[in-house]
Every structure is written in structure tokens, then in C-alpha cells.
Copies of this chain bind each other. A is one copy, B any other.
Amino acid sequence: MKKLINTPESVLEDALAGVAAAHPELTVDIPNRVITRAARPAGPKVAVISGGGSGHEPLHGGFVGPGMLDAACPGEVFTSPVPDQMLAAAKAVESGAGVVFIVKNYTGDVMNFELAAELAAEEGLAVRTVLVDDDVAVEDSTWTAGRRGTGATVLVEKATGALAERGAPLDEVAALGERVNAASRSFAIALTAATTPAAGKPGFDLPEDEIEVGVGIHGEPGRRREKLRPARALAAEVVDTILADHHLAPGDEVIALLNGLGATPLLELYIAYGEVAARLAERGITVARSLVGNYVTSLDMAGFSLTLTKADPQLLELWDAPVDTPALKRA
């Protein structure tokens, strides 16, 4: 394992020190592991707070700023944050209009945010939780922990953040988040496994000519392994898998997020996106907006995920709304 770190134990703390140094527009509470905007809102506004394990950067800290998150709670690498973080974040950023927690659907995240919501309620805060579960690789049944939350998190954070910025009330912001999640589906393909600093070796072994189809962002193995194929074939498979699960009809518009998992060059992501766009066109789906790049990563995993969110005028308007965060900016 070759990593640009000091020690596996200090990864999160050292990275937060770097975030603090790089972003004077953010306040980084290193002991409490909370990232907030340096500037507080003028009047009461719903506070949008997200969090999850580290290793998915820029998610979530990179999305803190006007028009998106009020605070992010980064856990240890691939480990959900602890309730104390969410409580500290909520207390730091709430301004009387309540708090929305955005939670990716993993057992650990769900439980830790649940405990945090209890603690926050005890402190008199109004809390709503939006669960993100967009990964079609996992069957959503009583036999599993349910679908994982992946790329749609970016869209949920962007949309709720934009709406909250306009002064919408708590229930409306939370309902929007649920609506965006329900309108979103994702699917991922990995070319290599991620190596966590703690484990020191790849989370799974993948032969030199094989890929993991339907992989999770913590390296949870996917639906199956198969031989590597050209980008065109992989893109078609990803699009078709999502469409098989999505209520989209020819003529529908989507927001498309072609997301790199960390170690795939942007050059290749654009190749994949070109093929995705071509396939969507073949299937009669119009891409109204797109985003190509590394947004929900899995450390040094090579591969990509695609998220398709059914668009409508309100969502497009919120997607286009101004945002000023380290990783997403729009005038």
C-alpha cells in the first residue's frame, strides 16, 4: 500500500487540517469533526446537514457552502460518523428553522443518525431525516439492508440546499429531498478495488481482466464479476440496468451524474459519459443537465457510477441555482 498519509490512524484529522488550511470560507472543528460554513445565515433558515464515512471526497465536506450544505460530519474512512458529530453540527448551524439530516442508507449511518436525531430532539431541535437509497445493484427487500445510498446524495444535497437557501420550511425541504431520492437511480462498475489505510490492501481481489459490476462505494462487491469490455458496452449496460428499474419513458428528461470512483482519469470519464449520452439518446431519454467528474468517490477505486434523476422544472431550477462550495460552484 502506497498512500500519501502520515499514519492510518490520523488520516481523518490530518485531512481536516488540510481542508481547514485550504478553505478559509469553511470552519473546520477538528476535535468534533464537523465542517460548517464560516458565515452564518442572516435570518433563520433550515440547516441541511450531511455526513458519512470519509473516503468519498469531495462528498460531503466539499459540498458545504451557500446553496448546498450547512454542515458535514465526516466519519473515519468508510465508517459512518458518530452521533456526537451530528449533534455538534446541528447545534452549530441551526438557526431556528430546524435541521434536515441527509443520510445514505447504510446500517451504520442510519443508526448513528437515528441516535443523533434523538439527542437533537432532546435538545429541542426539530429534525427531519432524508434517507438516500439509489443504488439499483442492491435488491430492496426484507432480505437486505435495502438499497445503498450513492451518487444521488449529490443531487439531494444540491436540491435541498438550494431550497433551504430560499427560506423554505423544514417539512418542504425534507419532502423535496425524498422526492429527489425517489426520482434517482444509480449503478456502478469498478475496475479495481479500493485500499483503506487501515486494511492496507485492496478490499477485494480483481483479476487483471475482470471488473466488478454493481459495486458499492465502500468496495462492497456487486452483482457479479465479468470480463472487462469496451467503454461503449459498459456504458450501455449501466444505462440499461438503471432504466430497467426507473420509471422513465421516452421523451423524459434526466439530470445525469457520471461519477468517477477516485482513480479513473477524467479523460476516461468523458469517454464513458460520451457513450452514456449516446445510449440514453438511443433509448429516447433527454439529458437536461449533466455533471462529469469525481464527486462520490471510493478512495483509490477505479471505475465509475452513473446516476440518473428524472428532471422536472422545479428540480432543474434548483439544480441550476447558485452554489458556492469547494467542489460545486455555479454563479
Contact = CB atoms under 8 A, between A and B. Distances in A.
A304 interface: yes
A180 to B, nearest CB: 21
A25 B271 CA distance: 18
Interface in A295-325: 297, 299-300, 302-304, 322, 324
Interface string A159-198: 0000000000000000000000000000000011000000
A4 B297 contact: no
Contacts of A300: 263-265, 302
Contact of A5 (B58, B208, B231, B262): B231
Interface stretch (A16-24, A95-103, A119-127): A16-24
Contact of A265 (B18, B57, B211): B57
A273 interface: yes
A2 interface: yes
A234 B5 CA distance: 10
Judged by DSSP, the binding face of A is mixed
Contacts of A291: 22
A110 interface: no
- Size range of the chain A interface in the assembly: 35 or more
Interface in A1-35: 2-7, 11, 14-22
Contacts of A11: 267, 271
A75 to B, nearest CB: 12
A155 interface: no
Contacts of A299: 265, 267
A239 interface: no
B270 A19 contact: yes
Nearest to A266: B57
Interface string A64-81: 000000000000010000
5 contacts: A2-B191, A2-B302, A4-B268, A14-B231, A21-B287
